[in-house]
Homo-oligomer: A and B are copies of this chain.
Amino acid sequence: MADVARHAGVSLGTVSNVLNSPAKVAPSTLTRVRASIDALGFVRNNLARSLAAGRADTLGFVIVDIGNSLFVDIARGAQEVSGEQGMKLLLANSDVDLAAQNSYLDLFDEARVGGVLLAPLDGPLDAAARVRSHGRPVVLVNAPDPQTDTCGVVVDEELGGYLATRHVLDSGRRRLAYTGGPLTLHAVAQRYAGARRAVEEAGAGATLELIETTKLTISEGLALGRSLAERDETHRPTAVISAADALASGCVQALIYAGIRVPDDIAIIGYDNNHFASDSVVPISTVGQPGHEMGRIATELLLEEIRSPGDHVHRTITLEPQLIARASTRSV
């Protein structure tokens, strides 16, 4: 920067003003300094900038699983708001590994980012607490357990399960099965609770079977579909509420392969609104999570806390999932 100042015949402070508050600089000086910047190919050193200014224009986002489209959507939403507010968003993938998650939290802490978004894995959040104790705001996104000493954004999983189940009940099915697992996963258990509530509400004649799986994958879905196909028709559910689209997609494929008609013989609804739910031979109904909005809101909460730490009050925003009806649950 000193070179630029010399080249333009001004002082260091003026170059700094050109960069940060051009309004304070006389037009002629402005153009002259800018010309020098270009001529010298000057790039300001953001390390020194943040160090001297004592503030950062960067946010960090530690993501539990970059391979999951929900988190990619969240990241996109977060990136959008960051951009709008003149902040940059840096991502780190913890890859469902607690040690990596903690290490990236520390990295962002040491890098003095303005704040951190954390989509955590099921596990202890002490590293996040440490970051927070250094005066660096942390917002939890899609965390299993809402905290009171931090802002957060979650989706009402119970409601999602309820909506899905209510939807197939409305379509006329009565013998239902909920599938997903393991039930130790917060989301899977909550969605199941919602399903039970809907069935209880429906009253007489409606039943809900639980088919627990070990994972939420397409292969588990294929296995599920095959085992349903083998069942006697009178013992086969007429509708399956799945805790994940992957599961539902595998199930649909295996059923069709076995000659069972979807939705005529059996209706299926998934969860997550992944692209392969819509892009299926029989488009699969699902429950969408507002990932994009989650990312936006989380970032707004974070920026609010960064900018007015004084009168900021922590809160957890609960968003509603949305039913997306497609062919796989059509009334027959």
Give A contacts to B, CB under 8 Å.
Answer: 41, 43-51, 58, 66-67, 69, 72, 75-76, 79, 88-93, 95, 103-104, 107, 109-112, 133-134, 217-219, 222, 246, 249-250, 253-254, 256-257, 275-276, 278-282
Can you report 11 residue pairs joining A to B where beta carbons are below 8 Å apart? A46-B112, A47-B48, A72-B93, A75-B93, A79-B93, A79-B95, A249-B276, A250-B279, A253-B280, A254-B281, A257-B282
- In the complex, the chain B residue whose C-beta lies closest to that of A136 is B43
| A176 CB to nearest chain B CB (Å) | 24
Residue from B67, B103, B109, B253 within 8 A of A253 (CB atoms): B253
Cα A277 to Cα B218 in complex, Å, equals 10
Residue from B46, B66, B278 within 8 A of A111 (CB atoms): B46
Task: Give chain B residues whose Cβ lies under 8 Å from the Cβ of A93.
Answer: 72, 75-76, 79, 91
Task: Give chain B residues whose Cβ lies under 8 Å from the Cβ of A67.
Answer: 69, 72
Cα A95 to Cα B279 in complex, Å, equals 21
Cα A44 to Cα B92 in complex, Å, equals 20
Most buried by B among A45, A66, A278, A280: A66
Task: Give chain B residues whose Cβ lies under 8 Å from the Cβ of A276.
Answer: 218, 249, 276
Seed contacts A45-B110, A66-B66, A91-B92; 7 additional CB < 8 Å A-B pairs: A58-B107, A67-B72, A79-B95, A88-B107, A219-B278, A246-B279, A257-B281
Residue from B47, B66, B110, B257 within 8 A of A112 (CB atoms): B47
Does more than half of chain A's interface fall in helix, strand or loop, or is it mixed? Answer: helix
| A121 CB to nearest chain B CB (Å) | 16
Cα A93 to Cα B75 in complex, Å, equals 9
Task: Give chain B residues whose Cβ lies under 8 Å from the Cβ of A75.
Answer: 66, 93
The 7 closest A-B pairs by CB, nearest first: A218-B279, A46-B110, A91-B91, A253-B281, A257-B281, A47-B51, A90-B90
Task: Give chain B residues whose Cβ lies under 8 Å from the Cβ of A104.
Answer: 88
| A99 CB to nearest chain B CB (Å) | 10
A110 in contact with B218 given A66-B72, A92-B90, A95-B76 (CB within 8 Å)? no
Cα A93 to Cα B249 in complex, Å, equals 28
- In the complex, the chain B residue whose C-beta lies closest to that of A217 is B279
| A91 CB to nearest chain B CB (Å) | 4
Cα A69 to Cα B274 in complex, Å, equals 14
- In the complex, the chain B residue whose C-beta lies closest to that of A60 is B90
Cα A246 to Cα B278 in complex, Å, equals 13
| Docked-complex contact B44 and A110, CB < 8 angstroms | yes
Cα A104 to Cα B87 in complex, Å, equals 11
A133 in contact with B88 given A47-B47, A66-B72, A281-B257 (CB within 8 Å)? no
| A192 CB to nearest chain B CB (Å) | 24
